[in-house]
Structure 1
Amino acid sequence: MINQLSWKIGGQQGEGVESTDRIFSTALNRLGYYLYGYRHFSSRIKGGHTNNKIRISTAPIRAISDDLDILVAFDQESIDLNAHELRSGGVIVADAKFKPAVPEGLNVQLFAVPITAIAEELGTSLYKNMVASGASWALLGLPLEVFNKAVEEEYGRKGAIVVEKNIEAVRRGSQFVLEQAGGPLSAFQLEPADGVQKLFMIGNDAMALGALTAGCRIMSAYPITPASEIMEYLIKQLPKFGGTVVQTEDEIAAATMAIGSNYAGVRAMTASAGPGLSLMMEAIGLAGMTETPLVIVDTQRGGPSTGLPTKQEQSDLNAMVYGTHGEIPKIVIAPSSIEDCFYDMIEAFNLAEKYQCPVIVMTDLQLSLGKQSCAVLDYDRIVIDRGRLVRDVPELETHGQFKRYEFTENGISPRVLPGEKGGLHHVTGVEHDEVGRPSESAINRQRMMDKRLGKLKSLEIRKAVVADAPYEEPDVLIIGMGSTGGTIDQARIKLEQEGWKTNHLTIRQIHPFPTAQVKRYTERAKQIIVLENNATGQLADQLKLNVDCRSKLTSMTKYDGTPFLPQEVYSKSKELVLNGNLQRVPQ
């Protein structure tokens, strides 16, 4: 028996690939397996090749696999584009309708199943995704009743007849392939899962749930890939808690509406991708100048312009850190797991109100849309911090105004909500004095700038960096952000097996940069690799700027729209270590 397996389904967009993957993975999750998914899809509603890949394991995983065990193909294109990933002895389950052909040189088994024909016998070709699912599920020797339960959950709202037809499609697909194969394939039998309950969700859903749990009650946003699922989740959930989602005419309106809502005292947010973030820049500056809390999620995708809207990239870092005109306090944090996506959203709202500034939560397409297993969330960890919010304003002198922007030792001024007795003050985007009145005084200007920029000197973020650093003087320190963490860990396993000493650092606080925390690890490393999905090495530049490590730093970039594979990281890391003429750890 094996402890992990990789499964992929491919076809044309709109052909049922997504629903097939969803039911297949849901059934596996019910059995207690750990899962990690990756979606490759086109930037259109229907048509164009799409595929979903799932890695299944009896142990926690946070990376896609280098190879593939089973490929389910609805067309020849899916075989042509994906069969090269199959390991020797792998399996292709394909629709016999298109007379599938295996590329030369591949040692794989082909099962040509009359997927469309069986579906049409049941009344419509729409059932073909369940025929294909049943066939591949059967080869694994897993219990059909678990899969059928997932089918019931997926199609139950459509009525008993639809459910029965889909279950019959699963049965017929299973029966056909088992007769062809002579039973389940022994080489693909998974060890039993641990049976421990796990959540299975995409990062966007986790962030939306985190926002809801944090007390967010307004989301203003404009739909955009790969952020739209946050909006879609909250459209369904916020009204249950007295909140609402407003679809604005553009991202400019989305950001300014969120600022207005936060000013009024309601926790509000917006979410977008790179193009939308560009439009929000002036509003982000307004939030910084008026010291109004603002939470923004940027789900990075391929750029610039429309770029690759459905592909992986991490190229917005510079825009998030430097994009606004002028200088304002700003916090940028980067979740690195599904659990982080949930907890970091709660922290983002707390930070925004504590420091009265914009907070940008930076994810990437793989983390936002890749469906993954995660531990059951611990709601006892949740703490709500609304910062220096004044409820009872001391009585002021006649005609006096509230010092909303009062000079304080830590730079954080008292904040009051509109309508609070004694809280009258002025709000403007121009430079202002302590009560908000416009001021062009040179002395006031400098004091206000120092006050605003000084707020983050006391910044406290949960896990600014996450380190797996067993060695005092590692041969190589691999640094990453966002979704790259699991891939790095997977690559390190091979390096460790060959005797190389490796440490791993994930940077979660992007700005202000956690120089002291990072320096503790970079100083001890002989070589440093910075891994990121962009062309110019933006995270590497942050290290060069903030940490004295330029002489031993190598930037490993990938910007073709696909995530790093563990083998790629392993090969490049090994190359660096060998070029450095470093010695292995004695075996």
Structure 2
Amino acid sequence: MISQLSWKIGGQQGEGVESTDRIFSTALNRLGYYLYGYRHFSSRIKGGHTNNKIRISTKPIRAISDDLDILVAFDQESIDLNSAELRKGGVIVADAKFNPTIPDGIDARLFAVPITKMAEELGTSLMKNMVASGASWALLGLPLEVFNKAVEEEFGRKGPAIVEKNIEAVKRGAEFVLEQAGGPLDEFKLGEADGEQKLFMIGNEAIGLGSIAAGCRLMSAYPITPASEIMEYLIKKLPKFGGTVVQTEDEIAAVTMAIGANYAGVRTMTASAGPGLSLMMEAIGLAGMTETPLVIVNTQRGGPSTGLPTKQEQSDLNAMVYGTHGEIPKVVIAPASIEDCFYDMIEAFNVSEQYQVPVIVMTDLQLSLGKQSCDPFDYSKVQISRGKLVTDAPALEGPELFKRYELTEDGISPRILPGEKGGLHHVTGVEHDEVGRPSENAMNRQRMMDKRLNKLNDLSIRDAIRVDAPNETPDLLIIGMGSTGGTIDAARTMLGQDGVTSNHITIRQIHPFPTAALTPYLEKAKKVVVIENNATAQLAGQIKMYAGYADKIESLLKYDGNPFLPLEVYKASKELS
């Protein structure tokens, strides 16, 4: 038996690749396996090669695998593009319709299954994805009734007749390939899963659920890849909690609506990707100047301009930290797992209200759209803090106004919602005094700037940096952010087998930068490698600027639209150690 296996399905976009992956992985999740998925898809509605890869394991995993065990191909292009990943003795399950062939130099076993023909015999070629699923599932020797249950859930709303036809398609695919193979393949027999209940979701869904748990009741947003799933999730879920989603005409309207709603006291968020974030910059400055809480999720993708809308990148860091004109306090945090996506949304809303600042939650396409197993969330950890929200202001006398921007010792002023008795004050985007009246007085300007900028001096989010079982004097310190964490851990396992000691730090608070927490680890390491999906080493630049040790730091960069693989990180790190 084996402890893990990698499976991939490829075809043309709109051909059923996504639904096949969804049903296949759902059935595996029900058996209790740990899963980690990655989608390669084109920025179009239909057509263009697409593939979904799933790593299946009996133990927790947080990275895609370097190689591939089983490839399900709906066309020859899928074989040509993906067969190089197959390990020696791997398997290709392909539609016999296109007379599949294995490229030269690939040591793999081919099962040509009449996938389309079987589907058409059942009434429609659309069911070919179920034939293919049944064939690959059968090779693993897994119980067919579990898969059929997933089929029932996928197609149940279409009626029993459709469910029965799809189950028959699964059966025919399974029977055909088992006859060809002489039964399930022993070399692909997975060890038993632990059977424990696991969530199986993408990061965007965890972000949506986390925002609901945090008390968010309004999302204003404009659809954009790869952030749209947050909006789609909340459209279904928020009304059940008395909330709503408003699709605005553009990202400028989305962020200004969010600012207005937060000012009125409703926890509100918006979400976008790089191009949308660019449009939001002026309004983010307004939130900073008026000290209005604001939560923005930025799901990074390939840029600049339209760039690579459906590909992995981490190149918006500098834009998030420095993008607004002028100087305002803001917070940028970077979840690194599905669990982080959930809990960090609660942290983001709390920090935004406690410090009255914009908070940007920075994810990347792999984390946002990669479907992964995770433990059920612990709702007892959810704590709501609304900061200095005043509900009992004393009555005002005469022309007196509420000191909404009062100069306080900690730099955080009392906040009151519009309509509250005793809370009358001005709100403006120009510089202002303690009650909000416009003021160009030089002394007032300096005091207000200091007040705003200094209030984040003591900010440190939960796990500002995450360190895994540190070595005292490691040969190598590997630093990453976002979705790279699991890949780094897999690479470190290989480095350890070679006798290279290493530490791994995931930086989760990007701004203000956690200098004090990071410095001791930089000091102890002989060499530091910073891993990021961009071309200009933006995270490494932050480390050098705020913590120093530039002479120790090397960058491992990847910006071709694909996530890092463990073997890439291992090889590069070994050369540098």
Task: Report SS of the residue matched to 2:524.
Answer: coil
| 1:87-166 equivalent positions in 2, closer than 5 A | 87-166=87-166
Task: Give the Cα separation in 2 of the matches to 1:239 and 1:508.
Answer: 31
For 1:283 and 1:399, how far apart are their aligned partners in 2? 31
Contact (CA 8 Å) 2:39, 2:51: kept in 1 or not? yes
Aligned twin of 1:178: 178
CA drift at 1:150:
0.2
**RMSD (CA atoms):** 0.5
Shift of 1:458: 2.0
Q: 3-state SS of the aligned residue for 1:329?
A: coil
**2:471 counterpart of 1:459:** no
Secondary structure class of the residue paired with 2:363: strand
Offset at 1:242?
A: 1.1
1:487 matched to 2:487: yes
Task: Give the ranges of 4+ consecutive aligned residues of structure 1 lying more than 6 Å apart after TM superposition.
Answer: none
Q: Note the C-alpha offset of 1:240.
A: 1.1
The code of the aligned residue for 2:463 comes to K
Identity %: 80
Provide structure 1 residue ranges, at least 5 long, that are not aligned to the other structure.
Answer: 578-587
Q: Distance in 2 between matches of 1:511 and 1:2?
A: 43
How far apart, CA to CA, are the structure 2 residues paired with 1:529 and 1:412?
38
Task: State the alpha-carbon separation in 1 of the partners of residues 108 and 316 from structure 2.
Answer: 41
Distance in 2 of aligned mates of 1:432 and 1:494: 58
Aligned to 2:378: 378
**Deviation per CA, 1:551-586, whole angstroms, max 9, x where unpaired?**
010011000000000000000000001xxxxxxxxx
Measured in 1, the distance between the counterparts of 2:413 and 2:397 equals: 19
| TM-score between the two structures when normalised by the length of structure 2 | 1.00
Structure 1 residue 41 corresponds to structure 2 residue 22 = no
Read off the aligned partner of 1:369 and give its amino acid letter. Answer: L
- How many Å separate the matches in 2 of 1:213 and 1:311? 29
Kept after mapping to 1: 8 A contact 2:460/2:514: no
State the match for 2:564 in structure 1. 564
In the TM superposition, 1:430-509 aligns within 5 A as 430-509=430-509
Task: Determine if contact 1:90/1:109 at 8 Å carries over to the other structure.
Answer: yes
Task: State how far apart, in whole Å, the 2-side matches of 1:393 and 1:319 are.
Answer: 39
- Secondary structure of 1:304 counterpart: coil
Gaps of 5+ in 2: none
What is residue 24 of structure 1 aligned with on the other side? 24
- Deviation of 1:110 (Å): 0.1
**TM-score, length of structure 1 as denominator length:** 0.98
Q: How far apart, CA to CA, are the structure 2 residues paired with 1:163 and 1:65?
A: 33
Q: Is the 1:469–1:502 contact (alpha carbons within 8 Å) kept by the matching residues of 2?
A: no
**CA offset at residue 406 of structure 1?**
0.1
Which letter maps to 1:212?
I
Distance 1:479 1:169 in 2: 47
Structure-to-structure mapping, 1:137-536, within 5 angstroms: 137-536=137-536
TM superposition shift of 1:469: 4.2
CA distance in 2, matches of 1:76, 1:548: 51
Which AA in structure 1 matches 2:162? V
SS in 1 for 2:11: strand
| Separation in 2, partners of 1:156, 1:469 | 47
Partner Cα distance (2:234, 2:70) in 1: 35
- For residues 529 and 398 of structure 1, the distance between their equivalents in structure 2, rounded to whole angstroms, comes to 63
SS in 2 for 1:135: helix
Equivalent position amino acid for 1:367 in 2? L
The one-character-per-residue Cα deviations of 1:410-441 (angstroms, maximum 9, x if unpaired) are: 00000000000000000000000000000000
Kindly provide the CA deviation profile for residues 16-36 of structure 1, in whole angstroms up to 9, marking residues without a partner as x. Answer: 000000000000000000000
Whole-angstrom distance in 2 between the partners of 1:413 and 1:395: 18
Structure 1 counterpart of 2:341, one-letter code: C
Structure 2 SS opposite 1:8: strand
Partners of 1:139 and 1:469 in 2: CA distance:
39
Contact 1:479-1:505 within 8 A present in 2 as well: yes
Q: Deviations over 1:387-416 (max 9, x none)?
A: 100000012332210000000000000000
